[in-house]
């Protein structure tokens, strides 16, 4: 009998991991609803404040309606790209739950990827549904009907989710060495308020800050996909720069993950009981 | 009266143990201080960003909003010191049945559950917050009289009462929804709106924050007291709101506690 190909095995493993992740999420649907509420309050608050500031007219090109579209985009993209794995890893390493995960024939990251897909798919779909319903009653939040642009946006959201995932996962794995790995995640979270465009479109930030931001991963994980959806990204140069930034940072964080994972596992073996 | 004294004796003993335990983790103090300073800086940069595009938020100037930010930080300091480690732990106790051990004690269960543990290091947040408010107040150039100080102390006490009531309410739901682990997250979501004066929000949200989820009373009112924009009648209303919130949450707690059947085991 021919040996099963690795791809087929991995596919079956993913089917099983996804199924179990879905079932767990279904069990904890009330908790997930609460996380969802928590996730959208930040864009709602930012939107409310900009709405009040824009009462007197457009703010650097953003009208009240423009802010509404932007923050709907932020809520959607943020939900689809969230990263919480660092906290899980921190707990697993501290409480010894990492041990049985290391004995499995499949690396723990696959379980995390399945969890991420099972959680983000349905919850992002809920936000999308709210956006669609809202745009029936509130013309201001309608985005132009351009399927090509939407497809490009979906690709950018996928890449953004991958960058944030490996970024969070690799940072979280530093818990092999330090008990304060989650503090590093929080630090990035704080910086991303500004550099990712979470509290304001990047064009409202001081130009020098934006200039620095483009050399980091922050704008590519939120601002870029959102601005594709809202129509702020127009020229092919902007698209090219955005996707190039995404690919470069995805490669960097993927490599960093591999580095930290191989080293950290050895380090853990040396001290773990 | 005797019951209250007994509860205090028990709590004092717990706090002493708690303090001795915390002394072993002095590194946590530095870490939590750094974290607070970092988040305060992010909050001030956010306000600065808004004020790069406007001269006022709901009728409040830059330094007025920073005064409010200080009050917000002081209030969340109280939450992190007392409420989250105390009553925030209730859902876990309900799920595991550990609440049994509280109920058999000859003390008031709500009082004990609420104040059983103090994360003393987070008191630094209260000090930092009030310090920031004082600094911002000096920047506004307003003179601070006796009325401002007295009305601030009263309305800040009301703010603590309202926040405490919100926690008691949310945590009481644990008796109905045993599987929901992250009820406290709802508080985190809602309280973020209290970083800005309630007048900066559109009418519908303002209504919600004043009457339904009463966070307007938590930061806007005490900061109004400090910046001299508080109407004496509003101060009176604040006291009414604080007392009503405490009463309502106490009532809910008693109803909820009746549902507790112990997880056993």
pLDDT tens digits for B158-177? 999 999 999 999 999 888 88
User: What span, in angstroms and rounded, lies between the C-alpha atoms of A261 and A22?
Assistant: 26
Provide the percentage of residues in chain A whose pLDDT is more than 90: 72
B205 touches chain A (CB under 8 A): yes
Helices (H), chain B: 2-23, 26-51, 62-78, 90-96, 99-103, 109-115, 123-140, 146-172, 183-191, 203-207, 220-226, 232-258
Cβ-proximal residues to A165 (8 Å cutoff; 6+ apart), any chain: A83, A85, A112, A113, A116
When CB atoms are compared, the residue of B58, B182, B195 closest to A35 is B182
CA A192 from centre of chain? 11
Nearest to A46 by CA among B78, B57, B212: B57
End-to-end CA distance of chain A: 41
| Residue B115 backbone phi and psi in degrees, to 5 | -120, 20
Question: Which residues in chain B touch residue A201, judged by CB atoms under 8 angstroms apart?
Answer: none
Question: How distant is the Cα of B193 from the closest Cα of chain A, in angstroms?
Answer: 6
The neighbour count for residue A199, using CB atoms within 10 Å, is 24
Q: Do B201 and A48 touch (CB under 8 A)?
A: yes
User: What span, in angstroms and rounded, lies between the C-alpha atoms of A87 and A72?
Assistant: 27
| pLDDT tens digits along A33-58 | 999 999 999 999 999 999 999 988 89
The neighbour count for residue B21, using CB atoms within 10 Å, is 11
Question: Which long-range contacts does B5-8 make (Cβ < 8 Å, 24+ apart)?
Answer: B6/B106, B6/B107, B7/B107, B7/B108, B7/B111, B7/B112
Question: Which residues in chain B touch residue A52, judged by CB atoms under 8 angstroms apart?
Answer: 57-58, 200-202
Task: Give domain status of residue B265, yes or no.
Answer: no
Q: Do A53 and B50 touch (CB under 8 A)?
A: yes
- Number of domains making up chain B: 1
Cβ–Cβ pairs < 8 A, chains A and B: 78
Task: Give domain status of residue B217, yes or no.
Answer: yes
| pLDDT tens digits along A94-132 | 888 888 888 888 888 999 999 999 999 999 999 999 999
ipTM, 2 decimals?
A: 0.91
User: What span, in angstroms and rounded, lies between the C-alpha atoms of B161 and A157?
Assistant: 43
Task: Give domain status of residue B31, yes or no.
Answer: yes
Choose from A32, A48, A59, A181 for mutation: most chain B CBs within 10 A. A48
| pLDDT tens digits along B114-127 | 988 888 889 999 99
Least confident of A2-6, A139-143, B203-207: A2-6
Residue of B nearest to A50 (CA): B50
Nearest to A253 by CA among A200, A198, A197, A188: A188
Q: Do A49 and B35 touch (CB under 8 A)?
A: no
Which pLDDT belongs to residue A97?
Answer: 84
Residue ranges of chain A whose CB lies within 8 Å of a chain B CB: 27-28, 30-31, 34-35, 37-38, 41-42, 45, 48-53, 59-60, 180, 183, 186-187, 190, 193-194, 199-200, 204-206
| Residue B33 backbone phi and psi in degrees, to 5 | -65, -45
Question: Which residues in chain B touch residue A59, judged by CB atoms under 8 angstroms apart?
Answer: 53-54
Cβ-proximal residues to A126 (8 Å cutoff; 6+ apart), any chain: A36
User: What span, in angstroms and rounded, lies between the C-alpha atoms of A62 and A254?
Assistant: 36
Backbone CA torsion sign across A169, A171, A176, A182:
negative
Which pLDDT belongs to residue B79?
Answer: 95
Highest mean pLDDT among A63-77, B97-111, B171-185: A63-77
Mean pLDDT of all residues in A172-178: 90
Task: Give domain status of residue B158, yes or no.
Answer: yes
Which pLDDT belongs to residue B155?
Answer: 96
Choose from B33, B42, B209 for mutation: most chain A CBs within 10 A. B42
Domain region containing B76:
2-258
Exposure pattern of B206-224 as b/e (b: 16+ CB <10 Å)? bebbbeebbbbbbbbbbbb
What Å distances lie between residue A91 and A17, A79, A85, A178, B158, CA to CA? 20, 23, 10, 12, 37
Which pLDDT belongs to residue A105?
Answer: 82
B31 touches chain A (CB under 8 A): yes
pLDDT tier, A173 (very low <50, low <70, confident <90, very high otherwise): very high
| Residues 175-204 (B) with a CB less than 8 A from some CB of A | 177, 179-183, 185-186, 188-190, 192-193, 195-196, 200-202
Taking phi first (over 0 means left), then psi (-120 to 50 degrees means alpha), and beta for anything else, what does residue B202 get?
beta
B213 touches chain A (CB under 8 A): no
Task: Give domain status of residue B263, yes or no.
Answer: no
Question: Which residues in chain B touch residue A24, judged by CB atoms under 8 angstroms apart?
Answer: none
Residue A273 has pLDDT above 80, yes or no: no
User: What span, in angstroms and rounded, lies between the C-alpha atoms of A50 and A52?
Assistant: 5
Question: Which residues in chain A touch residue B193, judged by CB atoms under 8 angstroms apart?
Answer: 41, 45
Task: Give domain status of residue B70, yes or no.
Answer: yes
**Mean pLDDT, chain B, integer:** 90
Task: Give domain status of residue B186, yes or no.
Answer: yes
What SS3 class is residue B57? Answer: strand
Residue B265 has pLDDT above 50, yes or no: no
Question: How distant is the Cα of A193 from the closest Cα of chain B, in angstroms?
Answer: 8
Three-state secondary structure of chain A: CCCCCHHHHHHHHHHHHHHHHHHHHHHCHHHHHHHHHHHHHHHHHHHHHHHHHHHHCCECCECHHHHHHHHHHHHHHHHHHCCCHHHHHHHHHHHCCHHHHHCCCCCHHHHHHHHHHHHHHHHHHHHHHHHHHHHHHCHHHCCCCCHHHHHHHHHHHHHHHHHHHHHHHHHHHHHHCCCCHHHHHHHHHHHHHHHCCCCCCHHHCCHHHHHHHCCCCHHHHCHHHHHHHHCCCCCHHHHHHHHHHHHHHHHHHHHHHHHHHHHHHHHHHHHCC
pLDDT tier, A269 (very low <50, low <70, confident <90, very high otherwise): low
Cβ-proximal residues to A205 (8 Å cutoff; 6+ apart), any chain: A194, A213, B49
Cβ-proximal residues to B8 (8 Å cutoff; 6+ apart), any chain: none
């Amino acid at each position: 009998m021919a040996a099963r190909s690795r791809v087929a095995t991995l596919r079956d493993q993913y089917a099983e991991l996804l199924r179990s992740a879905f079932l767990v999420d279904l069990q904890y649907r009330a908790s997930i609803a609460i996380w969802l509420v928590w996730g959208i309050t930040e864009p709602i608050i930012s939107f409310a404040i900009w709405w009040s500031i824009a009462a007197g007219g457009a703010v650097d090109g953003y009208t009240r309606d423009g802010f509404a579209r932007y923050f709907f985009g932020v809520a959607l993209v943020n939900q689809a790209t969230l990263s919480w794995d660092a906290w899980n890893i921190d707990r697993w390493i501290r409480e010894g739950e990492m041990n049985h995960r290391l004995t499995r024939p499949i690396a723990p990251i696959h379980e995390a990827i399945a969890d991420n897909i099972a959680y983000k798919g349905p919850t992002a779909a809920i936000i999308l549904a709210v956006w669609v319903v809202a745009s029936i009653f509130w013309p201001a939040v309608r985005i132009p009907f351009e399927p090509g642009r939407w497809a490009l946006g979906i690709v950018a959201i996928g890449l953004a989710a991958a960058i944030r995932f490996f970024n969070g996962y690799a940072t979280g794995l530093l818990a092999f060495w330090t008990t304060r790995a989650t503090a590093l995640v929080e630090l990035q979270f704080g910086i991303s308020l500004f550099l990712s465009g979470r509290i304001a479109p990047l064009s409202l930030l001081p130009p020098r800050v934006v200039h620095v931001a483009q050399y980091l991963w922050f704008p590519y994980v939120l601002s870029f996909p959102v601005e594709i959806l809202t129509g702020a990204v127009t020229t092919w140069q902007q698209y090219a720069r955005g996707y190039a930034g995404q690919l470069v940072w995805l490669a960097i964080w993927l490599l960093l993950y591999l580095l930290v994972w191989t080293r950290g596992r050895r380090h853990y073996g040396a001290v773990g009981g | 009266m005797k019951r209250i004294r007994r509860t205090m004796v028990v709590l004092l003993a717990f706090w002493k143990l708690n303090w001795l335990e915390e002394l072993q983790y002095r590194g946590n103090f530095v870490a939590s201080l750094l974290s607070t300073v970092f988040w305060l800086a992010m909050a001030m940069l956010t306000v600065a960003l808004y004020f790069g595009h406007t001269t006022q938020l709901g009728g409040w100037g830059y330094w007025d909003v920073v005064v409010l930010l200080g009050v917000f930080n002081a209030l969340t300091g109280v939450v992190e010191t007392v409420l989250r480690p105390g009553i925030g732990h209730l859902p876990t106790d309900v799920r595991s049945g550990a609440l049994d051990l509280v109920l058999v004690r000859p003390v008031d269960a709500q009082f004990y559950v609420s104040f059983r543990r103090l994360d003393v290091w987070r008191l630094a947040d209260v000090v930092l917050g009030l310090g920031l408010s004082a600094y911002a107040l000096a920047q506004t150039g307003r003179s601070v009289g006796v009325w401002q100080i007295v009305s601030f102390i009263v309305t800040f006490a009301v703010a603590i009462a309202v926040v405490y009531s919100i926690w008691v309410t949310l945590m009481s739901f644990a008796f109905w929804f045993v599987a929901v682990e992250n009820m406290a997250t709802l508080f985190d979501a809602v309280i973020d709106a209290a970083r800005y004066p309630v007048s900066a929000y559109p009418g519908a949200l303002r209504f919600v924050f004043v009457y339904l989820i009463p966070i307007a009373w938590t930061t806007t009112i005490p900061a109004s007291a400090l910046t001299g924009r508080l109407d004496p009648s509003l101060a009176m209303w604040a006291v009414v709101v604080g007392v009503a919130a405490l009463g309502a949450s106490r009532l809910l707690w008693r109803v909820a506690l009746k549902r507790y059947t112990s997880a056993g085991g």
